[in-house]
Structure 1
Amino acid sequence: MRVICGTEALENRCRRSRLTEMTLPMACLRESGLVPRRGRTVTPRARGRAPAAAAMDGARPRPYSDRMPSTILFDLDGTLTDPAPGIIGSFRKALADLGHEPPPYETLGWIIGPALRLSFPKVMGEGADAEAAVERYRVHYRAGGMYDLSLYPGMPESVAAIGAASARMFVCTAKPEPYAIPIVERFGYAPHFERVYGAALDGSLDDKADIIAKIIAEQGIDPADTVMIGDRMHDIHAAQRHGIASIGVAWGYGGVVELREAGATAICQRPEDLPEMVASLPC
């Protein structure tokens, strides 16, 4: 996303910081009016003319805070973080523990996203003890694999921009909450989210649609004014079951083809483009 500041002085300031071709820092965004200043009360977006209509008649585009859906749900793995080393490494070790030859690392990106109880049988074969595999996975994952991840460049800044303009944000992940919560806290995302919702260790919330149902019941969010952001078809399908719009992110593990076939409302190619896409999405 390229933001054009409203004054020549601000343009010069941002040009000197060498960021005119990238997402501007939060100070520039606040000064330009695209992100509210600290202390400003953010209300759910008004349902007036589309931003494009305002731009066509020469009016200044409305700021993000006037256009954001009232609630944003973020997937974790493959959306906020790239967890491949820890998840795939622990998955392969669990298979080896149970006497199975682990597939090559580079062929296992597909396991990131869905519940591992569903993934292990696809590798181990029908009748395999998936619960035993999950238990061995957790041994290795808790031993350090859960923190063997990286953040997608530009994603922390985009989350901050969206959070500054939207009323409520939640993490909605198929990862069990006892793992998801410390990851969100350790890697600096926690201040932006009201709560982290994840699967249960006993498998009772392995379907992401059930996690979204829990959020709706406990938080009273309006599905018609909510957006789900994720990288896999499971995110898109779960949102569809509740009438929620969705943005598929191309930097994760599903890919554009999977997201398009799943019926994502929109597909975002780069983290820096996400705030404007969320603000422009019709809900």
Structure 2
Amino acid sequence: MAENRFDHLSGVRHIVWDWNGTLLDDNHANLTALNRVCEPFGRAPVDLDYWRTVFRRPLLECYQDHLGRPLAKEEWEHLNTEYDRQYRSLLPGCGLADGVPGVLSGWTTAGGSQSLLSMASHRHVTGLVADFGLEPHFTRVDGRKYDAVDDSKAEHLVHHLAEQGIDPSTVVLVGDIDDDARAAREVGAHTLLVASGMMSRERLEATGGPVVGSPVEAVAALTEVRSPA
């Protein structure tokens, strides 16, 4: 029998979902906010295909490369504040990714548990999740409560799992950028990336982990290989 590329995920019992670009379809809001805050720096607008080839963490380094010069602390703080203002103004036009929330109910029905961890601010994320009526699906919802030195999700993931007493080896982090793969790898969890967010499929595949097109495909793959508890 041919090996299934998801077979190594058969022991997964818990999904940690990313939010932006994974469960929330906010690519347009992110791109529009990016172009608006970079315009005063003389940077011409870019399209989503381009941004998906260069976006990365740490964000400061990414933006400095994009603008072609270093940013002073005050400039970076102002850019972040303005980006947040622009993004929030566009949020009413953003919806959930295709298949959400049905796919969340499907994973619960299959016997799995799930939580949410985002690098957006904690207050912002918890408010949005509540607004969309998704809270009952998750055992825990965490946003960024502090700034990690390396701007990675890894440190936040450690705390997120520890607070729930979950064995990382039974966890898969479903996200849309390579930092999600890095975070999962560093804590001993699995990763499954969706190519519908802020990074191109080619860059996601370069992490060496499995890549699917959407949250629906992610849960379908996990359900198919899930071994009895």
TM-score range, shorter chain: 0.7 to 0.9
Q: Percentage identity across aligned positions?
A: 23
User: Could you tell me the TM-score, scaled by structure 1's length?
Assistant: 0.66
Mapped pair 1:136 → 2:136: no
Aligned to 2:115: 170
Aligned to 1:190: 135
Aligned to 1:101: 43
Q: Give distance in 2, aligned partners of 1:89 and 1:190.
A: 28
Corresponding pairs, count:
213
- 1:83-102 per-position Cα deviation (integer Å, ceiling 9, x unaligned): 12222222222223x44334
Pick the aligned partner of 2:144 from 196, 199, 209.
199
- 1:110-152 per-position Cα deviation (integer Å, ceiling 9, x unaligned): 577746434322222332132221122122233x223432322
Q: Give distance in 2, aligned partners of 1:172 and 1:111.
A: 23
Unaligned runs of 5+ in 2: 5-9
The amino acid across from 2:163 in the alignment is E
Q: Give distance in 2, aligned partners of 1:221 and 1:137.
A: 35
SS of alignment partner, residue 119 of structure 2 = strand
- 1:183-226 per-position Cα deviation (integer Å, ceiling 9, x unaligned): 222233222112222223x5237311011111122221101111
Q: Give distance in 1, aligned partners of 2:58 and 2:137.
A: 25
Q: Give distance in 2, aligned partners of 1:145 and 1:210.
A: 29
The amino acid across from 2:132 in the alignment is F
CA shift in 2, pair 1:111/1:255, >3 Å: closer
The amino acid across from 1:104 in the alignment is V
Aligned to 1:227: 172
The amino acid across from 1:133 in the alignment is L
CA shift in 2, pair 1:131/1:85, >3 Å: same
Output the aligned Cα RMSD: 2.7
Question: With CA pairs under 8 Å and 6+ residues apart, which has the higher RCO, 1 or 2?
Answer: 2
Mapped pair 1:74 → 2:17: yes
SS of alignment partner, residue 155 of structure 1 = coil
Check conservation: 1:77, 1:112, Cα contact below 8 A.
no
Paired residues for 1:146-157 under 5 Å: 146-157=91-102
The amino acid across from 2:19 in the alignment is L
Unaligned runs of 5+ in 1: 1-51, 53-66
Pick the aligned partner of 2:212 from 234, 256, 268.
268
Aligned to 1:87: 30
Aligned to 2:7: none
1:235 to partner: Cα distance: 0.8
CA shift in 2, pair 1:68/1:165, >3 Å: farther
Check conservation: 2:16, 2:173, Cα contact below 8 A.
yes
Q: Give distance in 2, aligned partners of 1:112 and 1:171.
A: 22
Check conservation: 1:88, 1:105, Cα contact below 8 A.
yes
SS of alignment partner, residue 211 of structure 2 = strand
Q: Give distance in 1, aligned partners of 2:61 and 2:113.
A: 31
Check conservation: 1:231, 1:253, Cα contact below 8 A.
yes
Aligned to 1:238: 183
CA shift in 2, pair 1:120/1:148, >3 Å: farther
The amino acid across from 1:85 in the alignment is H
